[in-house]
Structure 1
Amino acid sequence: MAVAVPGPPDRLPGVRMAGFEAHGAGPVDIAMVPHPSVTVLVDLSDEGGLVYDVRGRRQHGSIVVGLAPGDLRAGGRAGVCLQIRLDPAVAAAILGTPAALSGAVVSLDDVWGRDAGRTADRLRTAASWDERFGIAAEVLARRLRTRPAVDAEVAHIWRRTLAGRGRLRVEDLAGEVGWSRKRLWSRFGAQLGISPKRAARLVRFDRAAHLLAAGHAGADVAARCGYVDQSHLHRDVKAFAGLTPAAVAVAPWLAIDHIAWPTTQVS
């Protein structure tokens, strides 16, 4: 699979993009491991394209994957696909309804309306990945300018949750922004669609998944990520991905992360 990434001019804060091409490949069946971002997958295939299986329900075409969607697989015949990862605080402005997307997988048409089809057509007819990234950056930047962002406190707490690798106490985070625990729980959930505690679990799981993919043993991953024991790690991995730690370790979607997103943390 060929992977393309944008250069600095097309990078936006809180937005990461990568392009994938697998022309001539046979049918694919990929377990898509949850990630602490809202993900937009724009299917640019000429025909066939990707089919997504979400808890036994099948969807086609371009989709938006909310935070912690659970067991999600992509199948069909891979062609050309643009993947956009959005910081949840940025997704609030770009998508408009991030809270409603949490744990969900919905059609991009349902989120963007006619703009989804127009954008996909422009991307499909572009002559290069550089041009595609430029078009996507233009569309995303326009939406960022015209829609409200989340509270600064909510954005701060999300950033601190990422920086702390999901191991900071909710009470301490609330104190950093001068909010009560109750207010933090309410505002964070209303704007990002996920509780602060579940957000921390998702961030911790993401680190664990990438350590497993990097070849670290389950017991070592459990200790480094703050799980009580290896059984606790197993339960969390199963809850988020519908897979065992051994299956997550060889998941193709994770295996290409270091190529598509070289700064993925596995330390």
Structure 2
Amino acid sequence: MRTFMHGAAVWDVACPQRPSQVAGLTMAGFRVRDLDALRMVPHPAVTLLLEFGAGSPVVDCASGQQQRGSVVAGPGLGSGGAVRARGENVECVQIRVSPVIARAVLGASPADLDGAVVPLGDLWGREASRIRERLGDLSSWQDRFALTDALLARRHEAGPPVDPEVAWAWHRIVSSRGLTRVDGLAAEVGWSRKRLWSRFRSQLGLPPKRAVRLVRFDHAAHRLVAGEGAARVAADTGYADQSHLHRDVMAFTGATPATVAGEPFLAVDDVAWPSPGTTAMPHVSRPRQPG
């Protein structure tokens, strides 16, 4: 376990020694004595938070509602900067799940989350409380990661896959870091635009154009955290100019690029996730077009 220090933030962070059995799934462990109104910065993955121990995190949502304990949220959690996490003596395993495998892992499409932070018990019932108890009974972070990974691998194997055409389109968006032209995606998979847009939204939880914006923003935000200037980041990541980057960052976070560059939620990625940015993708073969 390593200590992450960034401004007033002091967190203990644990990382798995082995990669997940499931491609497209990454996790990290956190122990935070005093989590003070952490801004949730949008990320192109489904976020699954499994809490345990004596403390309990609280997520203050844009709607004014509060969610406590283990939660799940679809891609883009925190858009607009109105979602904050806080709590004392927080211990949790945070999992980032590629939208391509989220329906199988969760047992529900990310679209069913409707952009909200949802108690895990609403999806998993008693299994959510059982996993909390089992995580709390373990003393080793590696054992917690192994338990979590085994559970999610079983769910993934038993769950329904997304259409290969949808998976391919997501892969193209991610691999291009949000620079692919969405109008060409349907032609690449041999579907009509209307069909791809409908299936993509219903299975992954956001439309293709929103996915492109989110992936591009995520890449740009991590470059800002790394200390690169906004003008250079805008030029290299597909924005028309620095003002375009500024508007997009404000829309996603409610803050300026300079403020986002100092966000602990992003800065911790170098410790918690060795390859910051978009969650790793499973291998996706190109769909065969009819004819």
User: What range is the shorter-chain TM-score in?
Assistant: over 0.9
- Does structure 2 retain, via aligned residues, the 8 Å contact 1:93–1:144? yes
Partners in 2 of 1:245 and 1:231 — Cα distance? 10
Partners in 2 of 1:171 and 1:141 — Cα distance? 34
Consecutive unaligned residues of structure 2, counting only runs of 5 or more, are 1-10, 279-291
* SS of equivalent residue, structure 1 residue 26: strand
Would the alpha carbon gap of residues 58 and 110 (structure 1) be closer, same or farther in structure 2, given more than 3 Å must change? same
Report 1:155-166 matches (<5 A). 155-166=167-178
The reply to whether residue 58 of structure 1 matches residue 66 of structure 2 is: yes
* SS of equivalent residue, structure 2 residue 136: helix
Counterpart of 1:126 in structure 2: which amino acid? L
Counterpart of 1:42 in structure 2: which amino acid? L
Give the alignment's Cα RMSD to 1 decimal. 1.6
The reply to whether residue 4 of structure 1 matches residue 11 of structure 2 is: no
CA drift of 1:265 comes to 5.1
- Does structure 2 retain, via aligned residues, the 8 Å contact 1:14–1:90? yes
Counterpart of 1:59 in structure 2: which amino acid? Q
Partners in 1 of 2:31 and 2:197 — Cα distance? 41
1:19 alignment counterpart: 29
Partners in 1 of 2:139 and 2:230 — Cα distance? 44
Would the alpha carbon gap of residues 143 and 30 (structure 1) be closer, same or farther in structure 2, given more than 3 Å must change? same
The reply to whether residue 211 of structure 1 matches residue 223 of structure 2 is: yes
Partners in 1 of 2:177 and 2:190 — Cα distance? 22
The reply to whether residue 139 of structure 1 matches residue 151 of structure 2 is: yes
**Structure holding more helix per residue:** 1
Output one character per residue of 1:111-161: Cα deviation in whole Å (capped at 9) or x when no partner: 211111111111111120111011101110111121101001111111111
Paired residues in the alignment total 263
| Segments ≥4 residues shifted beyond 6 Å | none
CA drift of 1:8 comes to 2.3
2:85 alignment counterpart: 74
Query: Whose relative contact order is higher, 1 or 2, with alpha carbons under 8 Å and at least 6 apart?
Result: 2
2:117 alignment counterpart: 105
TM-score normalised by length of structure 2: 0.86
The reply to whether residue 167 of structure 1 matches residue 179 of structure 2 is: yes
- Does structure 1 retain, via aligned residues, the 8 Å contact 2:74–2:113? yes
* SS of equivalent residue, structure 2 residue 180: coil
Report 1:91-240 matches (<5 A). 91-97=102-108, 98-240=110-252
* SS of equivalent residue, structure 1 residue 155: helix
Consecutive unaligned residues of structure 1, counting only runs of 5 or more, are none
Would the alpha carbon gap of residues 78 and 233 (structure 1) be closer, same or farther in structure 2, given more than 3 Å must change? farther
Percent identical pairs in the alignment equals 52
Partners in 1 of 2:254 and 2:84 — Cα distance? 10
Output one character per residue of 1:4-63: Cα deviation in whole Å (capped at 9) or x when no partner: 1112264421110100113xx33522112111000101122313x211111132221111
- Does structure 1 retain, via aligned residues, the 8 Å contact 2:35–2:85? no
Partners in 1 of 2:219 and 2:43 — Cα distance? 10
